Amino acid sequence: QSALTQPPSASGSPGQSVAISCTGTSSDIGGYDAVFWFQQHPGKAPKLLIYEVSKRPSGVPDRFSGSKSGNTASLTVSGLQAEDEADYYCSSYAGSSNFRIFGGGTKLTVL
Amino acid sequence: DVQLVESGGGLVQPGGSLRLSCAASGFTFSSYWMHWVRQVPGKGLVWVSRINSAETSRTYADSVKGRFTVSRDNTKNTLYLQMSSLSAEDTAVYYCTRSDWFDYWGQGTLVTVSS
């Protein structure tokens, strides 16, 4: 099972919105509403931002939103803040044997 | 507060073995699926293994199948990963994470396979 495809980098100025895409196949993203997004700051553990395509855990600001169309999922960060500068990973359920695959990560830079 | 604390990482020679532990607190450990995810420093995340709450179901990534064994002790609130036949490709930070949502993560433990 190949990894999901994310752009290696994205950027935006404070206050702007940025969207990060995550492309898979009908065997993962397109086949299930089980897409997750994680934020990882340098030297830290990943943090769950979005689960089941568009749901936010308690404590995650509503500036973070998720969506899916076909085999592509997206994470949108609105009202960019300096602390949003981090690596972002998408993940999808990929069947009972492979279970979960990740994207290669996108480094978000706040200009 | 939910806490996951990994331990057991270190330097091991190719072909060697290592057992990682993940001590859980702040939640009912015996009620949750638990997972291991690894990350080569500077690279992306890779799912490794999962185990259900009753230890009756285990799943592994193809890259570790037959070499790694996941287990848990619900009386000690601890998750384990027994790793054998290690190679340089297994060098990574190993994280334990809770539930199929991966909603809480430990801080990770670094495993380095090198002679």
pLDDT tens for each residue of A33-81: 999 999 999 999 999 999 999 999 999 999 999 999 999 999 999 999 9
**Class of residue B94 by CB neighbours under 10 A (exposed 0-12, middle 13-18, buried 19+):** buried
Using only C-alpha atoms, what is the Rg of chain A? 13
A105 is written with which tokens? 């990560």
Mean pLDDT of chain A: 94
User: In the predicted model, is pLDDT for residue B37 greater than 90?
Assistant: yes
* pLDDT, mean over chain B: 96
- Measured between CA atoms, the residue of chain A closest to residue B43 is A104
- At A82 the pLDDT is 96
pLDDT over threshold 80, residue A2 = no
Please give the interface size between A and B, counted as residue pairs whose CB atoms are below 8 Å apart: 49
- Best of B45, B49, B52, B96 to substitute, by most chain A Cβ atoms within 10 angstroms, is B45
CA distance B32 to B44: 25
Numbered residues of chain B with Cβ closer than 8 Å to any chain A Cβ: 35, 37, 44-47, 50, 59, 61-62, 95, 101-108
Name, in order, each residue with C-beta under 8 angstroms of B112's C-beta and a sequence gap of 6 or more. Answer: B9, B10, B11, B12, B91
Measured between CB atoms, which of A47, A57, A99 is closest to B47?
A99
- What residue type is assigned to position B75 of the chain? T
Residue of chain B nearest A97, judged by CA positions: B59
CB A84 within 8 A of CB A110: yes
State yes or no: pLDDT of A1 exceeds 60: no
CA distance, residue A109 to nearest chain B CA (Å): 16
